[in-house]
Structure 1
Amino acid sequence: MKIHWIDLTIIIVYLLGITLIGVVMSRRQTESSARYFLAGRSLGWVTVGLALFATNISTVHLIGLASSGYSDGMVVGNFEWLAPFLLIMLGLVFAPFYFGSKISTLPEYLEGRYGPASRTFLAFMAVVGALFIHIGVTLYAGAVMFQNFVDMDILWSILIVSFLTVIYTVAGGLKAVVITESIQTVLLLVGATAVTAFGLVALHDRGITSLEALTEAAKPGQMSMIRTEGEYAWWIMLLGYPVLGVWYWCSDQTIVQRVLGAKTERDAQIGPIFAGFIKVLPVFLMVLPGVIGYVLFADKIGENPDATLITLIQELLPVGLQGFVVAGLLAALMSTVAGALNSTSTLVSIDIVKRIRPETSDHALVRIGQITTVVVMILAIAWSTQGERFGGIFKGINAMIAVLAPPISTVFVWGIFWRRGTAAASLTTMLVGFILGAIVFAVDFPAMSGLLLGVDSSGEPIQLVTKQWGIPFMLQAWWLFVICSVLFVITSYLTKPPDAAQLDRYCWRHPFAVIAEKRIEGPWDPRVLSGTLILLMATCYWIFA
């Protein structure tokens, strides 16, 4: 035990309490597939926004952002401050068609736009993404955190949290997931605020009382949000992040399922924008603590940046509050894993089983979704045991997204804005893009590149992409997107145009129709709120760049 019994009691009470709440909220949710998978389409914009944020901010973010803040500095905060622009895109560009077509899954939208073959392939890619990215890496990050407080084998840490999360996810579907996510979001933000506040107090005690003093105490450039060189250079972020962001925020079932469960189109649009406002906070509550950790405890953290947040909790927070913050970390883990499990069960039940056997009853679909949840969790647990090979939690998860996202982002962006895009172009782009991404990942991921390419003279796996080509993962995403876009356009012109009448339900008549097609209806109009959010982000960059 490396934690006081009071803190451990708080953690145990939280785990049991949130599981009980999830089970209670699951009542009657298995009566129909619409209730189980989409919460009966009853979610208001506040719940949608909180659930989007909670599913996004996992233990990977809490530990990974602090880790990257320690090693790379505030520049990593661009991953958070660029997200609101993609959430605006989700709310204004994609949500009207997602809600208007009454789809249950994003592959179902792709079938309407391109045809059944694209739906099947996207469902496969979505399950792969949820398994390897949303669940596997998150479980590993949570286990690393838990292991620092309780002297327990990392596998047992993974199993305990996985078991509790599966209980209410299997029992209650999306309604249980989003209700617990809303609670967990509040707990998470309070815990992150406590770490930052106590860190600032500790800086004050060291005589660091201003932004200028903190900048001098930190590494050169550590407090800057804008870089002109390196893997986080501003131009690399502008090219690469939208490719990752369109997949993650606008076309990933795990995230967008909250929008699909919205009560009205207005809720579906405002919910993501509300989440965009909340995304301003992680830079101050999750990245800045990494810089504080470097200034205060560089001698203790040393060359293990993933230990930054744990060190801050153990060194700065009093008994009782430590348990509360660790509970917040577990909240982040459980909300992300629960969301991903619910999305995979939806994909398998609706996009695979229902299409193969249309006569399958609602009850059977729910049961299949529950079985899928358990199976996917078991596979994710196996993958999470490889977490130490990720080369840093935050970079590891983004490197995986960088090779999965480009073909999906391509077919969604071109599909919703360019009416000439065809079914053949969609399927070809996803198939070729997935193969290219798999090759890049295989030669760049140490566990696989060691098998494929061997090891160098020092015994380290040869990583072809990063060590020989020198291409940062963000640029990998950009160039893969460019290749996929060229392939999509060429294939579209070589194949028969889609039916014009069908397109009205699935894509815009022209790009500017997003803003100009309807009259603005007061200050709560999604376009007005989006403009306000853009002004807020511009102000943040003006102040902190």
Structure 2
Amino acid sequence: MSTFLFFTALVALISYLATRRHRMDSSDAYFLGGRSLTAWIIAGSLMLTNLSTEHLIGLNGDAFNHTFAVTAWETTAAIAMVVMALFFLPRYLKSGFATIPQFLAERYDGQTRTIATLIFLFSYVVAILPVVLLFGATGIDSLFDISEQTGLSPDLVKWMLVWGIGALGSIYAVFGGLRAVAISDTVNGIGFLIAALLIPALALWMIGDGNPMAGLETVYTAEKPKFDVTGDEPGSFLPFSVLFTGMIVNQIFFWCTNQSIVQRALGAKNLKEGQKGVLIAAGFKLLGPAVVVLPGIIAFYLFKDDLSKDQYLQAYPMLVKAVLPDWLVGFFAAVMVGAVLSTFNSVLNSSATLFSEGIYKSIFNKEASGERIVLSGRVCSVVLALAAMIAAPLIDTSGSLHNYLQKINATFFGPMLAVILLGFFTRRVPALAAKVVLIGGPVLFFLLVFAFEGPVQAFLRDLFRTPYDIHFLHLLALIFSVSVIFMLVVGLVSPAQKIYKAEYTHDVDITPWRHAKVVGSVIIVLTIGFYALMAQ
């Protein structure tokens, strides 16, 4: 307990000392950290905004049930982050955007921004915020046996942890703004990376009797089919083919246009620092398989006779209990809580930015002062935090929660990415086409994947003469393609009258990092090389 309290307090102290003189009287100061973030802070915040217990427990649980192929959710992200650094970020910083919907307002119109803002906020409230809290609460309870040690029921402990973590995360987001969030993310990220890599290292050390490489060889020999990164077993949970369809759409949207992610880079002090930060985070993504997949396979090797498929969420906690020394339990608990806090408060901060800039200022109070805009963001954060804390304990935990999260997100990803990309690459696609796609695209995806999943899959199985369901990522790619084609056709028939031209706002220096292309190329080669090495 003392170690837990020390590390948690240390993160809070460092965040406070780094931000105590940082004024929160303008939207740039509160939402973008005063455009002062440096490379390592951006990299740390990007990693911890994305990585949390839903990855450690959820993805490792999926690896326990399936194969190494689930690493695609993490590994392919590195390529998308290179695209972000080299293509998207220079354009964002040149135009001085605080939010993605702000770009949509300038490219299309204000109604398009409002629709996009509401979609972002809805997806955060329905999917990310409550799921992050739920995974954090159940994971921490499983890892440290809080229910057993206190004698309280698991449901009560889950409620207590959800509200405790949610309240603490809200404090960072509401009072500290992006700078406090990013700094706490970075400090937590160092601890998280050390702790997360320690678990597979200790497990392989134990299996190999003091020789981790011998332990890895033992696990690989015994469970060789589990290490197939292509995932091409019949009816695959994540077939290799999705890497060339919906996974591309998913990763480009998430890492290049998703507000909760790109906001860290939008707060960069200049393009050079932003590109370095994004590419450093992309390099760390290559460590993802060792953190969020390999432990699940090690757990399968050790506990496959003790855990059923339905108990997959217990795989990682059981491994941690088996290998973690008692003196490290407090530190591990602190970094797990920190990981949950980082994702939760980062999404809250982004939600506040979206609401204040895209709803409050643009609709309700166009002449609002900086203080009023910040206040509206703080109120939004509190409301969303309360909604997430109420909803989290009610989520059904049967099935793959990580897959559930990705399905919910995919409902919005395809249409939104189509609208953003065509906003960059075309001049004649009108606002009407964007609005139809933003509303109709998610509705169509919901009908295909959720409402009428049975009949749709039956039709597709018959069409493609396969006994297996078509993966939802293929359907994501379909919705994206339909959205693009529809918008292009509308642009030909009824082209936009207003021609958008990006203007350089001079908010930050946009001189690129001179090593960006070389480093990006190396990351792409290493990612492809990893797949070539692991393919069976």
TM-score when scaled to structure 1? 0.87
**Secondary structure, counterpart of 1:340 in structure 2:** helix
Q: For the residues of structure 1 that align with 2:101 and 2:123, how far apart are their CA atoms?
A: 14
Match of 2:507 in 1: none
Aligned identity (percent) is: 27
Q: For the residues of structure 1 that align with 2:449 and 2:121, how far apart are their CA atoms?
A: 17
Per-residue deviation, residues 359-402 of structure 1 (Å, max 9, x unmatched): 11111111111111110011112221233346222111111122
- Return the offset for 1:521: 8.1
Q: For the residues of structure 1 that align with 2:281 and 2:33, how far apart are their CA atoms?
A: 19
CA contact (8 A) 2:231 2:237 kept: no
Match of 2:222 in 1: 217
Match of 1:451 in 2: none
Match of 1:264 among 261, 264, 270: 270
Match of 2:178 in 1: 174
| Distance change (3 Å), C-alpha of 1:26 and 1:375 | farther
What are the residue-to-residue correspondences of 1:7-18 with 2, within 5 Å? 8-18=1-11
Match of 2:25 in 1: 31
Match of 1:162 in 2: 166
What are the residue-to-residue correspondences of 1:142-153 with 2, within 5 Å? 142-148=136-142, 149=144, 150-151=146-147, 152=152, 153=156
Residue 327 (structure 1) aligned with residue 317 (structure 2):
no
- Equivalent AA in structure 2 for residue 272 of structure 1: V
Q: For the residues of structure 1 that align with 2:207 and 2:458, how far apart are their CA atoms?
A: 38
Q: For the residues of structure 1 that align with 2:343 and 2:381, how far apart are their CA atoms?
A: 14
Match of 1:184 in 2: 188
Per-residue deviation, residues 42-64 of structure 1 (Å, max 9, x unmatched): 01122212211111112111111
Q: For the residues of structure 1 that align with 2:527 and 2:361, how far apart are their CA atoms?
A: 43
What are the residue-to-residue correspondences of 1:300-319 with 2, within 5 Å? 300-303=306-309, 304-319=311-326
Q: For the residues of structure 2 that align with 1:39 and 1:417, how far apart are their CA atoms?
A: 30
| Distance change (3 Å), C-alpha of 1:338 and 1:440 | farther
- Return the offset for 1:269: 2.4
Match of 2:471 in 1: 472
**Secondary structure, counterpart of 2:227 in structure 1:** coil
- Equivalent AA in structure 2 for residue 424 of structure 1: L
CA contact (8 A) 1:236 1:474 kept: yes
How many residue pairs get matched? 506
Q: For the residues of structure 2 that align with 1:411 and 1:498, how far apart are their CA atoms?
A: 17
- Return the offset for 1:25: 4.1
Match of 1:289 in 2: 295
Match of 1:97 among 91, 96, 105: 91
**Secondary structure, counterpart of 1:320 in structure 2:** helix
- Return the offset for 1:270: 2.7
| Distance change (3 Å), C-alpha of 1:463 and 1:159 | farther
CA contact (8 A) 2:208 2:218 kept: no
- Which range moved further: 435-444 or 384-393? 435-444
Residue 205 (structure 1) aligned with residue 209 (structure 2):
yes
- Equivalent AA in structure 1 for residue 383 of structure 2: V
- Return the offset for 1:437: 3.0
Instruction: Give the number of the structure with larger relative contact order, counting CA–CA contacts within 8 Å between residues 6 or more apart.
Output: 2
- Which range moved further: 197-206 or 235-244? 197-206
Q: For the residues of structure 2 that align with 1:464 and 1:190, how far apart are their CA atoms?
A: 47
- Return the offset for 1:232: 1.7
- Return the offset for 1:466: 6.2
- Return the offset for 1:89: 1.2
Q: For the residues of structure 1 that align with 2:60 and 2:47, how far apart are their CA atoms?
A: 18
Q: For the residues of structure 2 that align with 1:194 and 1:536, how far apart are their CA atoms?
A: 23
Q: For the residues of structure 1 that align with 2:415 and 2:524, how far apart are their CA atoms?
A: 27
| Distance change (3 Å), C-alpha of 1:372 and 1:25 | farther
Match of 1:242 in 2: 248
CA contact (8 A) 1:23 1:171 kept: no
Match of 1:195 among 176, 196, 199: 199
Q: For the residues of structure 2 that align with 1:417 and 1:298, how far apart are their CA atoms?
A: 50
Residue 384 (structure 1) aligned with residue 401 (structure 2):
no
- Return the offset for 1:73: 1.8
| Distance change (3 Å), C-alpha of 1:521 and 1:310 | closer
Q: For the residues of structure 2 that align with 1:504 and 1:31, how far apart are their CA atoms?
A: 28
CA contact (8 A) 2:207 2:215 kept: no
Residue 536 (structure 1) aligned with residue 534 (structure 2):
no
CA contact (8 A) 1:60 1:138 kept: yes
Q: For the residues of structure 2 that align with 1:354 and 1:367, how far apart are their CA atoms?
A: 11
**Secondary structure, counterpart of 1:247 in structure 2:** helix
- Equivalent AA in structure 2 for residue 176 of structure 1: A
Match of 1:420 in 2: 428
- Return the offset for 1:472: 1.8
| Distance change (3 Å), C-alpha of 1:322 and 1:292 | same
- Return the offset for 1:213: 3.6
CA contact (8 A) 2:445 2:475 kept: no
- Return the offset for 1:17: 3.8
Residue 47 (structure 1) aligned with residue 41 (structure 2):
yes
- Which range moved further: 97-106 or 147-156? 147-156
- Return the offset for 1:20: 4.2
| Distance change (3 Å), C-alpha of 1:10 and 1:393 | farther
- Return the offset for 1:351: 1.0
**Secondary structure, counterpart of 2:245 in structure 1:** helix
Q: For the residues of structure 1 that align with 2:32 and 2:124, how far apart are their CA atoms?
A: 18
| Distance change (3 Å), C-alpha of 1:205 and 1:12 | same
CA contact (8 A) 2:206 2:215 kept: no
| Distance change (3 Å), C-alpha of 1:464 and 1:391 | farther
What are the residue-to-residue correspondences of 1:428-447 with 2, within 5 Å? 428-440=436-448, 442-443=450-451
- Return the offset for 1:187: 0.6
Match of 2:493 in 1: 494
Residue 368 (structure 1) aligned with residue 373 (structure 2):
no
CA contact (8 A) 1:344 1:373 kept: yes
Q: For the residues of structure 1 that align with 2:200 and 2:260, how far apart are their CA atoms?
A: 29
- Which range moved further: 528-537 or 433-442? 433-442
**Secondary structure, counterpart of 1:30 in structure 2:** coil
**Secondary structure, counterpart of 1:367 in structure 2:** helix
- Equivalent AA in structure 1 for residue 109 of structure 2: G
**Secondary structure, counterpart of 1:359 in structure 2:** coil
- Equivalent AA in structure 2 for residue 434 of structure 1: P
Residue 394 (structure 1) aligned with residue 388 (structure 2):
no
Match of 2:129 among 128, 132, 135: 135
Match of 2:75 among 71, 81, 84: 81
Per-residue deviation, residues 498-529 of structure 1 (Å, max 9, x unmatched): 544x33549xxxxxxxxxxx9x988x432222
| Distance change (3 Å), C-alpha of 1:20 and 1:129 | farther
CA contact (8 A) 1:403 1:440 kept: no
**Secondary structure, counterpart of 2:226 in structure 1:** coil
- Return the offset for 1:91: 1.0
CA contact (8 A) 1:66 1:289 kept: yes
CA RMSD of aligned residues (A): 2.4
- Return the offset for 1:467: 8.0
Q: For the residues of structure 2 that align with 1:339 and 1:377, how far apart are their CA atoms?
A: 12
| Distance change (3 Å), C-alpha of 1:173 and 1:12 | same
- Return the offset for 1:36: 0.7
Match of 2:481 in 1: 482
Per-residue deviation, residues 412-438 of structure 1 (Å, max 9, x unmatched): 222222333322221111111122234
Q: For the residues of structure 2 that align with 1:212 and 1:420, how far apart are their CA atoms?
A: 57
